[in-house]
Structure formats: C-alpha cells, structure tokens
Chains A and B, each alone.
Chain A
Amino acid sequence: MAATIVILFIATTAAIVLLVGFRARWTRSREGKILAFIALCVLPIAAAWGGFSEQMERAESTQFCLSCHVMTDFGRSLYVDDPSYLPARHFQNNRVPRDRACYTCHTDYAMFGTVRAKLRGLRHIQVQYFGAIPKPEEIKLYSPYNNRECLHCHLGARRFEEGSGHHKTADLLQKVKSGQQSCLSSGCHDIVHDVGSLKDAAFWKENK
C-alpha cells in the first residue's frame, strides 16, 4: 500500500515536472515562478525522499536479502525441520517476522545499528556484482555474534529468564547478559545456518 502511494506520488511529480519544463513560458509570471519552484525543487526532493525511504524499507525484507544467488542456502536453512537449527526455529515459530527474518537478527540493536547494517549490505552488493563471490559455507560474520541482538527480544522473557538451561550454573544467566558468555559459540545454541550440511537435512513444508 505504501509502495503504491510512493509510486503514484513519484509519477504525479514526474508529470508535473515535465509539464512545467515544456511550458517554461509559464515561469514569466509570479505565480508561474512559484509553481516552477514547487515543481522543480520541492516536489522532486520530496518524491526522491519517499522513494529512498521505501527502498530502505525493502532492503530489510527477507526477499531482498535472498535475491542474491549465494544467499539461497541461507534461505533454505530457515526451513530445516530440526529445532536445533536456531534460525529455523525462530523463523518457523514466528519468533522473528518472516518477511524481515534476516534483518531482525543481523542488525545491530545499538545507536547507528541500522546504518551499519545498510553499509554492510552495500558491501555485499559490491561483492555480488564486482567481487569474488565466496561459497555459501565460506560466508562468515564480520565479528562474533553479539548477545545484545538476542537479548533485544529475549531479555525479560519468562522462558529465557527461568529456563533451566540458563541456570545450569549460578552465574550463567548473568554471564550471558553481560556478554561474557556467548549464546551462539559456547556450545549451547551453536547450530546456526550450517549451510554446509543442508544436503542431508529434512525440510519443513509450510502449509499455506
């Protein structure tokens, strides 16, 4: 719906811009000058801003992330029929919005996190079209996964706070919360996308 409005706004703006351009003599009058300023300055900037916002929103969608061929296996890993696959468990149980699954876990929940995620995305695009594309199983995170991204949703949740697995030792929960112990690489939730083993995996068939 929002996209339709943005497209209509851009189309209308383009029509007004071209009309004013081809009827430039209108700008001889005072009213024409005001019209030209709105048509050739205010409206195009507003339309471009609307389009940019829409593009940025789309860049957060799962469809956008998976549109590069190298990401196909990462998309498939969301359908693995095995709850030990952490992304699959989150995706299949709606713990992350399915249409923004990649972005939900792979953005930084910190100041400028969104900007950093977008800049990383631009680097991915550069590698996709101008660089050497790595094999899916060779793709790694730039830095170890930060517990902060998990805690953004799980902190305060009863299952997280009271779950027996998080109280195996007296200070485990505190270590996880402070980032001293990683959620993903401490042997607890360490099966993530694991795209190298997908050929042997069973897949969940969603009933639509």
Chain B
Amino acid sequence: MEKPLIETRIKWASLLIGAGLLIQMGTLFRIHPLAFIAFVVVGCPLIGSGVLLYLWSLVSAKK
C-alpha cells in the first residue's frame, strides 16, 4: 500500500530536523568560532526548513 503524501513529507521533515539537531549537538562539543558558524549557518536552516516542511504538510493535506 502506498504511503499518504503527508507521511512522506513528515518523514522528510523529521530527517531535516534530525540532521540539524545532530549538527547543532556536534557543535556544542567544541568552543570555537567555526562551531558557532556551523550551528547558525548549517544547523538552524536545516531545523527551520524541516519545521516549515512539516507545517506545510499540515496545511496542504487533503481532507
């Protein structure tokens, strides 16, 4: 049986958020400007795009 589109989007959203969180967690093991940059430039956009994808999947879901 084929997965509903919303579930596929939720899976992708969770992958983006999970990747962002893991990167953010990794940056917290070191005190260095590059860790700060990775946190802000890589981690935050990944989480932001994952959350937006999830919210978009909710509003675009067919009843």
Contact = CB atoms under 8 A, between A and B. Distances in A.
Interface string B1-28: 0010011101111110110111011011
A204 to B, nearest CB: 24
B11 A22 contact: yes
Interface residues of B, number: 36
Contacts, number: 114
Contact of A21 (B18, B39, B44): B18
A2 to B, nearest CB: 10
A45 B32 contact: no
The B interface, classified by DSSP as helix, strand, loop or mixed, is: helix
A153 interface: no
Contacts of B24: 10, 47-48, 51
Contact of A40 (B7, B17, B37, B44): B17
Interface stretch (A53-61, A167-175, A194-202): A53-61
Interface residues of A, number: 39
Interface string A1-38: 00100110011011001101110110100000000100
A172 to B, nearest CB: 41
Nearest to A61: B31
Contacts of B43: 48, 51
A-B pairs with lowest CB-CB distance, top 8: A21-B14, A24-B7, A14-B21, A40-B54, A24-B10, A10-B25, A18-B18, A51-B24
